[in-house]
């Protein structure tokens, strides 16, 4: 291959037999030589500026994108520093560059044809290069040899991780295609299987891929030293100034002597972050210079300010415009108690809520006390309540249980009817199951909640009753970009004649049956709608994600509330919506039509409400 420059080579040879002694003539010759040199430089610069370069790659689609994105000559095409010298250097390096790129995808016997062309188009010089590439057959894995050294070779047969499971999970199986990315990924996954469980100091001591380019075969060899198995030791906490150390200790789910697990450290970190006391949390274990039998757990925290005051405005398609004032003290009585007061004023609802939440104790219990004052004016029924209660929760978020006791005073005014007063002392039990892949933006799994509330004593209530309520929501990916969400909700009240209106059921609104006003579905009482003994609602929704964050939804909702099962006839709402995956959870805006009323309504949802 000949290198042809787009600029001609100019040679000048001058013979001066006798030196010129005249000063004036010498100055004239110097000026002529300087002018010629300047003209040559200007002409050369203009010629270089008018030179154009292009490259065409003819290759199978499986490798064409790789070459177009990563070949050096392709990256230089639009560089203003490209000139003929650089063009020819890149052309000479291109075949080796192509071979190296193809090797990363498992092609080690390619054939490469290079064609060059230079032409003149007007005042421009066109330099074209064409590479015709046949990558050949890809290399496949002929043999895999994975060897372990270290204490993992002498561990018990029932201890995890086992070498047999690690070998079984090896990604590059025999007869599969070799590529550099797959090779690197397989080694990383194999090493992670050790480092994440019991062997945090595991390392690859030797790895090689022996390529037989003639036969397109590869033999893979990996040697791993597991190092010593680690167990967790004591707790080291850094960054605490306002809050007691017991707050971190009681949340810690890891017991001394427990086998090292990265998943357990991450779970501990997420629980501390969710506690509400810290703006930043990092949980690690010191394994570099620690005793393998007692590796310290190191917790670094950044505390939030203990006193926080907030004000917010907003709107709800259920209850209208909203103003919220919040006062929060995260360290009440210097004991780490969280004291929250919230005043919320909406068009159809007003409330003043006080809540004291105690830190998780050493047995894993989370206790709280509350007092609430609420007023709700919906569909001709105005309900005013004053309540107080205590609650105890325990268990992880995947399986959380609660018990509680509460006392409620209620005043109910219904348009066209006499007002009435109710009261009830109740006890309750609830469970919540969370089996989803992501708590903020779930794509697969389900949520389930059940709550049972009873007023067991006549002397402490208007009358005895039992409210049973359950709700489940499921997520299922139909395709990579299409998601199915279903919801089913049901409730029943025994002894409804004695139950306060707060414990009866109405339906309709953002989280119920879209297409109908908030709590507009229930038992008709004159011009008002009041609660009933029975509740059933549900929803089927399909979301088509158009990008990683934006999607369009179509849905059908159904349900109603009634006093008898015979009157519990479902009404339907259906519509379209837009979805956005925000850092705080999914945001949804829907337009729904109520089949029973023929009206269209706007609905807005934020986050996973459960």
List the single range of 329-333, 413-417, 530-534, 590-594 with lowest mean pLDDT. 413-417
Least confident of 61-70, 298-307, 556-565: 61-70
70 contacts 57 by C-beta, under 8 angstroms:
no
Q: From CA 224, how far away is CA 148, in angstroms rounded?
A: 5
Residue 35 has pLDDT above 60, yes or no: no
**Contact at 8 Å (CB) between 366 and 379?**
no
pLDDT band at 41 (very low <50, low <70, confident <90, very high): very low
Most distant CA atoms of the chain, gap in Å: 135
Length of the chain in terms of residues written? 610
Contacts 24+ apart (CB under 8 A), 405-410: 407/460, 408/500, 408/502, 409/385, 410/383, 410/384, 410/385, 410/500, 410/501, 410/502
Contact 528, 501 (CB under 8 A): no
pTM for the full model?
0.70
pLDDT tens for 361-372 read 989 899 999 999
- The answer, yes or no, to whether residue 146 has pLDDT greater than 90, is yes
- So what's the pLDDT on residue 20? 42
In which band, very low, low, confident or very high, does the pLDDT at 610 lie, cut at 50, 70 and 90?
low
Q: What is the pLDDT of residue 406?
A: 98
Look at residues 507, 521, 492, 488 and name the one whose alpha carbon lies nearest to residue 610: 488
| Contacts with 605 (C-beta within 8 Å, 6 or more apart), sequence order | 510, 511, 586, 587, 588, 590
Per residue in 525-569, pLDDT (tens digit) is 988 999 999 999 999 999 999 999 999 999 999 999 999 999 999
Burial of 341 (0-12, 13-18, 19+ CB in 10 A): middle
User: 529 forms bridges with which residues in the sheet?
Assistant: 524
Mean pLDDT for the stretch of residues 263-273: 92
Q: What is the pLDDT of residue 36?
A: 52
Q: Following DSSP, what letter does each residue of 25-68 receive, concatenated?
A: HHHHHHHHHHHHHHHHHHHHHHHHHTEEEEEEEE--HHHHHHHH
d(CA 334, CA 240): 13
Estimate the crossing angle of helix 61-70 against helix 84-104, to 10 degrees: 140
Which is it for strands 381-394 and 399-414: parallel, antiparallel or unpaired?
antiparallel
Query: Which contiguous run of DSSP H or E holds residue 189?
Result: helix 180-195
- The mean-pLDDT minimum among 13-22, 190-199, 502-511 falls in 13-22
Ranges 60-64, 162-166, 245-249, 426-430, most confident: 426-430
Residue 171, pLDDT score: 86
Helix (H, G, I), strand (E, B) or coil at 10: coil
Q: Report how far residue 532's alpha carbon sits from residue 318's, in angstroms, rounded to the nearest whole number.
A: 20
Tokens, residue 391: 């609650």
Strand order of the β-sheet with 111-121 is 51-58, 124-134, 111-121
Give the model's pLDDT for residue 45. Answer: 46
How far apart CA 462 and CA 439 sit, in angstroms, is 40
Radius of gyration of the chain (CA): 37
Nearest-angstrom CA–CA distance, 235 and 231: 13
DSSP 3-state assignment of 104?
Answer: helix
Q: Which of 145, 256, 260, 159 lies closest to 206 in space, CA to CA?
A: 145
DSSP H helix total and E strand total for the chain: 8, 27
pLDDT-above-90 percentage for the chain: 63
The continuous run of DSSP H or E covering 309 comes out as: strand 307-316
Please write down the HEC assignment for all residues of 82-96: CCHHHHHHHHHHHHH
Taking residues 216-236, report their average pLDDT. 93
What integer pLDDT is reported at residue 2 of this predicted model? 36
pLDDT at residue 29 tops 80: no
Calculate the CA dihedral of residues 513, 516, 522, 524 and round it to 10 degrees. -160
What gap in Å lies between CA 281 and CA 299, rounded to an integer? Answer: 7
Select the more confidently predicted residue: 374 or 51.
Answer: 374
Confidence of residue 75 (pLDDT cuts 50, 70, 90): confident
Residue in this structure with the two tokens 């505390």, named with its chain if needed: 303
Q: How confident is the model at residue 78 (pLDDT cuts 50, 70, 90)?
A: confident
Left if phi > 0, otherwise alpha if psi is -120 to 50, otherwise beta: which for 76?
alpha
Let me know: does 140 contact 216? Beta carbons within 8 Å. Answer: yes
Query: DSSP letters along 460-513, please?
Result: GBSS-EEEEEEEEEEEEESSSSEEEEEEEEEEEEETGGGS-GGGSB-B-STTS-
Is residue 40 scored above 50 in pLDDT?
A: no
pLDDT band at 26 (very low <50, low <70, confident <90, very high): low
Asked whether the predicted pLDDT for residue 349 surpasses 70, the reply is yes
Is a pLDDT exceeding 90 seen at residue 468?
Answer: yes
Per-residue pLDDT at 6: 35
Which pLDDT does position 79 carry in this prediction?
85
- The SS3 assignment for 288 reads coil
Q: What is the pLDDT of residue 396?
A: 87
521, exposed or middle or buried, with CB in 10 Å at 0-12, 13-18, 19+?
A: buried
pLDDT at position 289, please? 82
- Is pLDDT at 12 greater than 50 in this prediction? no
pLDDT averaged over the chain? 88
pLDDT on residue 17: 39
> Is the Cβ–Cβ distance between 98 and 170 less than 8 Å?
no
In this predicted structure, the answer to whether residue 211 has a pLDDT above a threshold of 60 is: yes
Edge-first strand order for the sheet with 140-149 is: 140-149, 217-225, 203-212
Q: Phi-psi category of 320—alpha, beta or left, where left has phi over 0 and alpha has psi -120 to 50?
A: left
Q: What are the pLDDT digits (tens) for 427-463? A: 999 999 999 998 889 999 999 999 999 999 988 999 8
What pLDDT, on a 0 to 100 scale, did the predictor assign at position 221?
94
Strand partners, 51: 125
Would you call 339 exposed, middle or buried from its count of C-beta atoms within 10 A (0-12, 13-18, 19+)?
middle
Tokens, residue 305:
């300010």
Which two tokens mark 556?
A: 């059908």
Structure tokens at 385: 């309540």
């Amino acid at each position: 291959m000949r290198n042809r420059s787009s600029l001609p080579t100019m040679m000048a040879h001058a013979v001066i037999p006798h030196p010129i002694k005249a000063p004036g003539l010498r100055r004239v010759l110097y000026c002529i030589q300087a002018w010629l040199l300047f003209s040559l430089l200007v002409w050369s610069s203009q010629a270089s500026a008018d030179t154009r370069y292009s490259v065409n790659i003819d290759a199978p689609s499986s490798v064409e994108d790789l070459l177009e994105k990563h070949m050096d000559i392709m990256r230089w095409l639009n560089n203003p520093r490209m000139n003929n010298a650089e063009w020819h250097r890149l052309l000479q390096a291109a075949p080796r560059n192509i071979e190296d790129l193809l090797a990363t995808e498992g092609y080690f016997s390619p054939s490469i044809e290079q064609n060059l062309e230079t032409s003149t188009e007007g005042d421009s010089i066109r330099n074209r290069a064409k590479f015709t590439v046949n990558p050949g057959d890809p290399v496949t894995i002929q043999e895999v040899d994975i060897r372990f050294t270290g204490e993992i070779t002498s561990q018990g047969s029932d201890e995890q991780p086992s070498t047999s499971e690690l070998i079984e999970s090896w990604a590059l199986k025999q007869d599969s295609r070799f590529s550099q990315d797959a090779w690197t990924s397989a080694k990383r996954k194999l090493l992670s299987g050790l480092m994440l469980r019991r062997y945090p100091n595991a390392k690859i001591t030797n790895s090689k891929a022996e390529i037989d380019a003639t036969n397109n075969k590869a033999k893979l060899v990996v040697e791993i030293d597991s190092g010593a198995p680690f167990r967790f030791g004591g707790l080291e906490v850094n960054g605490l100034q306002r809050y007691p150390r017991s707050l971190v200790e009681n949340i810690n789910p890891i017991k001394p002597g427990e086998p090292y697990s990265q998943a357990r450290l991450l779970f501990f970190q997420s629980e501390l972050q969710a506690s509400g006391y810290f703006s930043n949390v990092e949980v690690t274990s010191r394994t570099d210079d620690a005793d393998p039998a007692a590796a310290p757990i190191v917790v670094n925290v950044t505390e939030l300010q203990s006193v926080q005051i907030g004000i917010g405005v907003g709107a709800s398609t259920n209850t209208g415009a909203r103003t919220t004032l919040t006062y929060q003290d995260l360290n009440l009585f210097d004991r780490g108690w969280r004291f929250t007061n919230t005043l919320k004023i909406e068009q159809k609802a007003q409330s003043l809520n006080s809540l004291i939440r105690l830190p998780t104790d050493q047995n894993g219990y989370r206790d709280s006390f509350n007092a609430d004052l609420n007023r709700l004016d919906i569909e001709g029924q105005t309900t005013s309540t004053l309540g107080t209660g205590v609650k105890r929760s325990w268990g992880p978020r995947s399986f959380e249980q609660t018990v509680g006791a509460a006392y409620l005073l209620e005043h109910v005014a219904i348009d066209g009817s006499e007002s009435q007063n109710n009261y009830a002392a109740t006890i309750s039990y609830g469970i919540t199951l969370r089996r989803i892949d992501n708590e903020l933006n779930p794509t697969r799994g389900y949520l389930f909640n059940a709550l049972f509330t009873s007023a067991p004593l006549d002397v402490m209530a208007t009358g005895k009753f039992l409210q049973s309520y359950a709700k489940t929501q499921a997520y299922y990916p139909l395709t990579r970009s299409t998601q199915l969400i279903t919801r089913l909700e049901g409730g029943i009240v025994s002894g409804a004649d004695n139950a306060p209106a707060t414990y009866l059921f109405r339906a309709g609104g953002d989280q119920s049956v879209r297409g109908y006003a908030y709590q507009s579905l229930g038992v008709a009482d004159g011009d008002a709608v009041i609660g009933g003994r029975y509740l059933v609602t549900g929803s089927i929704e399909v979301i088509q994600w158009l990008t990683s964050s934006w999607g369009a939804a179509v849905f059908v909702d159904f349900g109603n509330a009634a006093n008898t099962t015979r009157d519990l006839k479902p009404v339907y709402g259906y519509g379209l919506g837009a979805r956005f995956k925000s850092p705080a959870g999914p945001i949804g805006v829907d337009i729904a039509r109520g089949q029973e009323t023929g009206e269209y309504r706007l609905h807005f949802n934020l986050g996973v409400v459960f």
